[in-house]
Structure 1
Amino acid sequence: MKLSYRYEQTSCRLRIDGLPDLSAGHGPEVIGILSGWELDLAGHPTLEGKRDHLQALLAVVLPYARHLVSSVPRPMGAATDPVQMEPVSSSRGGLRNRQAHRLRLLSSQPETQPLELSFDDAELADLVRCLDQLRLDPRVQLGFSLPPDRPLHRREILERVPLRQRLAAPAAGLAALAITAAFGLMVPLPRRTATPAASPAVTPTSPLTPPR
């Protein structure tokens, strides 16, 4: 019996179709064999494809959103991967220099141009929620191999703080040290007072004793 599950948000709707994998011991309500999927995005064409495309979408969008939440946005997906995502600047909505997110999809069909979609923060959040609902749904056991969540590298954490802010504390310390040293050089040293010369010691002499 064919199963179909939907995950919906304000600007995104994901539908998964499949069958139970009886050889793996799945119940009658568990999708273990994917037969198709469809992703509807507001203002964008409907996306669909095979299992590999869905797994590539999960493997790129979720890590991208995680780095974005950590204030370390970075491109995800190699040039030859079927799904790529990167931060871009956009003037959408009349606001210049507004950050947007570009999703690039490479078709498996020859002589087909890549499809590029642009999202704002709200649309990306809806897409991430739908993909998270799919990933955490116990009724879907498709065994997606996703990259493990790992802590950020030290370099990525440092890059999250602007260079000017990172240099502010050392610069302030050096300035305080220089000002203290300058004031120290300007303060005159106390003059040494002349010590009066000590009078020569007089050795007392005993009086002469008259002869007897």
Structure 2
Amino acid sequence: MKQTLRYEQLSCRLQVDGLPDVSAGQSGDALGIITGWSLRWMGRPELEGRKEHLIALMEVVLPYARHLLSGVERRFGQEDSPVEIGPRPAGGHSLLLRSSQPGTPPLEVVLDDAELADLVRVLDQLRLDARLQLPLDLPQPRPLRPREMQERVPRRQRLAAPVGGALVLVLAAGLGLLLPEPRPLPAPSPSSPAAGQDRP
């Protein structure tokens, strides 16, 4: 029996079609085999594909959104992967979709922050839906690496503390050189060991 899962937000709607995996003993309302999916946008071409394309979309969009929330903007997806997403210099986000059909040029979808949030919501709803009973083989979320966290802070701000400390040290050394040297104390007068004793 064919099953259809739908997830809607203001700017997009995700529909996943499939069948329950009878060999795994799944019930009739479960979806264990994905036969196709479609993503409808407002004012944009409809996207559709196989399970591999849906997983590729989730593999790049979800970690990209997590990095954005942490203040780290970086591109996800390789040049030969079906899906690639990254920030645009003019603002917004560029979602690049490559078709598996030969001779079909890549499709670029420009998203603003609200549209990206809607896309993340529908993908998360699918990922967390108990009716979807098949492994998606998505990478587990990992905390940002120390280098990525360091790159969050602008280089000027990272260099401010050490440069300021070096300037304070140089200033303190310069002031120390300007101070006059203390005068040496007068040497005590020599006295004989028998001083203060009466002669015999």
In structure 2, do the counterparts of structure 1 residues 75 and 205 end up closer, same or farther at CA, with 3 Å as the change threshold? closer
Among 91, 103, 109, which residue is 2:101 paired with? Answer: 109
Which whole-Å CA distance do the structure 1 matches of 2:196 and 2:77 have between them? 101
Q: For structure 1, which segment, 184-193 or 6-15, has the greater mean C-alpha deviation from structure 2 after superposition?
A: 184-193
1:147 corresponding residue in structure 2: 139
Cα distance change of structure 1 residues 22 and 184 upon mapping to structure 2, 3 Å threshold: same
Structure 2 unaligned residues grouped into runs of 5+: none
Cross-structure match for 1:183: 175
In structure 2, the partner of 1:22 is 22
Report the equivalent of 2:184.
192
Q: State how 1:109-188 maps to structure 2 within 5 Å.
A: 109-188=101-180
* Unaligned residue ranges in structure 1 (runs of 5+): 91-98, 207-212
User: Considering only CA atoms, is the larger Rg found in Structure 1 or Structure 2?
Assistant: 1
Change (3 A) 1:28 1:181: same
CA positional deviation for 1:173: 1.0
CA distance in 1, matches of 2:60, 2:184: 77
Q: Secondary structure at the match of 2:23?
A: helix
Query: Is residue 4 of structure 2 the alignment partner of residue 12 of structure 1?
Result: no
CA distance in structure 1 between the aligned counterparts of 2:79 and 2:114, rounded to whole angstroms: 26
Runs of 4+ in 1 over 4 A off after TM superposition: none
Matches of 2:185 and 2:104, distance apart in 1: 96
Cα RMSD (Å): 1.8
Q: Cα gap change, 1:203/1:52 in structure 2, threshold over 3 Å: closer, same or farther?
A: closer
1:93 corresponding residue in structure 2:
none
**TM-score for the superposition, normalised by structure 1:** 0.86
Structure 1 residues 127 and 198, CA, compared in 2 at 3 Å: closer, same or farther? same
